Amino acid sequence: MTDNASRQSRRAFVAAGVAGGLSMAAGTASASTGGRPDVGAAQAGRSWRERRNSALVLKAFARQNTGGDIFDILHDDVEWSIVNGRTYTSKADFLAAGSAPIMDRLATTLVMTIQDLWADGDTVIIRFYGDATAIDGVEYHNEYCWVWELKDSRVIRSHAFLDMGAVQELIDRVQRP
């Protein structure tokens, strides 16, 4: 597959799964693709591990966007590194000190809209936008890129890239409840 065809295939797969279009039932993905190739065609040529890991990640994002918790996919002993920031050595540590300072200041669900998703073995890279309304009524917007390593259907390592200026502005502006 050419690089361009591969990119188009990945984008078609990602587009099929975003904005609430993905439903997972009995391990089979189905989606409203809006005229794009179906998920099965987009996954052709991928290893079973890459297909499984992509589906797990898409399911976690869909759970988040319907009011659930994306972080359910994290292993208890996850190593979560914010690039140019801190590294957390457990799920509990990350949720308390890494995620809560953002999530506690939001009045609405942080909707995560995937822009690109790539899978290579047990590594999945997700580039996405996060949008919500803060407690003070002002919109919060950030662009993220997470590089996840999965083992036994759980994220064991994450490298998170995000706009720390947007996070700091939110933290400075909105008091935690």
Q: What is the pLDDT of residue 45?
A: 73
Q: What is the pLDDT of residue 177?
A: 86
In sequence order, the β-bridge partners of residue 79 are 157
| Residue that is written with structure tokens 């399911």 in the block | 59
CA distances from 122 to 12, 29, 62, 95, 174 (A): 21, 19, 20, 23, 37
pLDDT digits (tens, 9 = 90+) for 146-155: 999 999 999 9
Q: What is the pLDDT of residue 44?
A: 64
Rounded to whole angstroms, the Cα distance separating 155 from 76 reads 9
Beta strands 74-82 and 154-162, pairing class: parallel
Q: What is the pLDDT of residue 100?
A: 97
Closest by CA position to 127, among listed 144, 149, 141: 144
Q: What is the mean pLDDT of each run of 10 residues along the chain (177 residues)?
A: 42 36 28 34 75 97 97 98 96 97 97 98 98 98 98 98 97 94
Q: Which residues contact 128 (CB under 8 A, 6 or more apart)?
A: 61, 112, 113, 114, 115, 143, 144, 145, 146
